[in-house]
Amino acid sequence: MKDTLILAIESSCDETAASVVKNGREVLSNVISSQIALHTQFGGVVPEIASRKHIEKINQVVTQALEDAKVTLADVDAIGVTYGPGLVGALLVGVAEAKAIAFAAKKPLVGVHHIEGHVSANYIENPDLEPPFVCLIVSGGHTHLVIVKDYGEFEIIGRTRDDAAGEAFDKVARAVGLGYPGGPKVDKTAKEGNPHAIEFPRAKVEGSPYDFSFSGLKSAVLNYINKAHMTGEEINVPDLVSSFQNAVVEALVSRAVLAAKEYGYDKLAIAGGVASNSALRAAMQEACDKAHIRFYHPSPIFCTDNAAMIGCAAYYEYKKGTRHGWDLNAVPNLKL
Ligand code: KG4
Ligand code: ZN
């Protein structure tokens, strides 16, 4: 059978990325131009600056992705691109680039949901993984518990009622002076701390066993810091972030494993930037082993934003017949 090559583009937040993916699973190239250093000085992503940087980098990143994969545009079967959710100005750069390439090279255009991309990252290194399975999606903007019924087909069974998991990591990191992006810094610092040093609240959403709430936990951490400042008590940062991380991990693992058991699935995957958290991966592996559930996770490079995951998702959409027209627009709040 003839191979199918997708050239994929991702620009929904602060990474300008392009990738060539073969048959939905094999990554031939994965180019990521990160803007993290640029946004660090502001303590978070500045949308206007992100858009301007994307426009500067996008052609270079796409050219590099084709070169690394040792293919030309003529070899590519379709152009995949993230068209939402995300920052509108950032998304528009990728969408306009993909449309221009598809038009000029006479290739089909396949718009992809960013979160479908995150879920699909699991297909890259797990050739045996096929739907249906349960997936916990934890990124900077999203916390969803879904059943992946088929490729690109999701049933949402739980979501956050307030902050996303990644957002909580970023806010707590900022409060203790670890800087941006908070997740990886908390992960590293927590390794030197005691996860049971401080007992933070574990929020439950009444009547919704699969929903999450992190704002109470975040407030508890901020109150702890304020109280310490007022009393002049010294804060043990590793203990503090380790205890916070432990509370987040417990909330995520307990609900995800409960969902797999209750809905009767023996496969559980995680996706999104927070899925690269080492404590989450370890706790999830342990809980899944105990429950005889197979646990899947992408390598850290495929957890945070990248275009390879968009190429995987675009492949399955392409196979299903999804095609977008020249009127494809960025949809900042695109629903799953
Ligand atoms: O998926 P992603 O790259 O972008 C979005 O689609 O939002 O996720 C970024 C989020 C940020 O909040 C970042 O702090 C968090 O993922 N993150 C982590 C880790 N690496 C990234 N959170 C916890 N532990 C990590 N190791
Ligand atoms: Zn993302």
- Asked if 318 contacts 4 with a C-beta cutoff of 8 angstroms, the reply is yes
Specify if 325 maps to a domain: no
Q: Does the pLDDT of residue 204 top 90, yes or no?
A: no
Q: Helices 278-290 and 182-190 sit at what angle, rounded to 10 degrees?
A: 70
Structure confidence by residue, pLDDT tens digits, 89-136: 999 999 999 999 999 999 999 999 999 999 999 999 999 999 999 999
Whether the predicted pLDDT of 58 surpasses 90: yes
CATH code at position 103: 3.30.420.40
The interface predicted TM-score of the complex, written ipTM, equals 0.99
Q: Quick one: 70 and 158 in the same domain?
A: no
Same domain assignment for residues 115 and 153 = no
What pLDDT is attached to residue 309? Answer: 98
Measured in angstroms, how far is the CA atom of residue 231 from the centroid of ligand 1?
Answer: 33
Same domain for 200 and 177, yes or no, is yes
Q: Are residues 177 and 83 in the same domain?
A: no
Whether the per-residue pLDDT at 319 is higher than 90: the answer is: yes
The letter for the amino acid at 321 is: G
Is any ligand 1 atom within 6 A of the Cβ of residue 304? yes
Query: Could you tell me if residue 334 is inside a domain?
Result: no
pLDDT higher than threshold 90 for residue 67? yes
Give 181's pLDDT tier (boundaries 50, 70, 90).
confident
pLDDT of residue 1: 81
Dist. CA 233 → ligand 2 center (Å): 38
DSSP designation for 196: T
214 and 169, same structural domain? yes
**Quick one: angle between helices 237-263 and 165-175, nearest 10?**
170
140 carries a ligand binding annotation = yes
Instruction: Identify the band that residue 27 occupies on the pLDDT scale cut at 50, 70 and 90.
Output: very high
Let me know whether 161 and 86 are in one domain: no
**Alpha carbon nearest to ligand 1 atom 23, residue:** 183
Which residue range(s) make up the domain with 36?
5-119+303-320
Residue 180: pLDDT over 90:
no
Tally of helices (H runs) and strands (E runs) in the chain: 11, 10
Q: Point out the ligand nearest to the CA of residue 310.
A: 2
Pocket test for ligand 1, best of 274, 276, 302 (most atoms within 8 A of CB): 274
SS (H, E, C) 214-269: CHHHHHHHHHHHHHHHHHCCCCCHHHHHHHHHHHHHHHHHHHHHHHHHHHCCCEEE
Question: Is residue 169 in some structural domain?
Answer: yes
Span 200-212, average pLDDT: 91
Residue 53 belongs to some domain of the structure:
yes
Reported confidence tier of residue 41, pLDDT bands at 50, 70, 90 = confident
CB of 272 within 6 A of ligand 1: the answer is: yes
Q: Which of 159, 185, 153 is nearest to 171 (CA)?
A: 185
Q: Are residues 74 and 88 in the same domain?
A: yes
What percent of the chain clears pLDDT 70, i.e. is strictly above it? 100
The ligand placed nearest to the CA atom of residue 142 is 1
Does 193 reside within a domain? yes
- Dist. CA 317 → ligand 2 center (Å): 19
**pLDDT tens digits, one per residue of 186-199:** 999 999 999 999 99
pLDDT above 90: residue 40: no
What is the C-alpha to C-alpha distance for residues 325 and 310, in angstroms, rounded to an integer? 18
126: in domain:
no
- Segment 249-284, tens digit of pLDDT: 999 999 999 999 999 999 999 999 999 999 999 999
Ligand nearest to the CA of 244: 1
Number of structural domains (the chain) is 2
Q: Please say if the pLDDT value at position 157 is more than 90.
A: yes
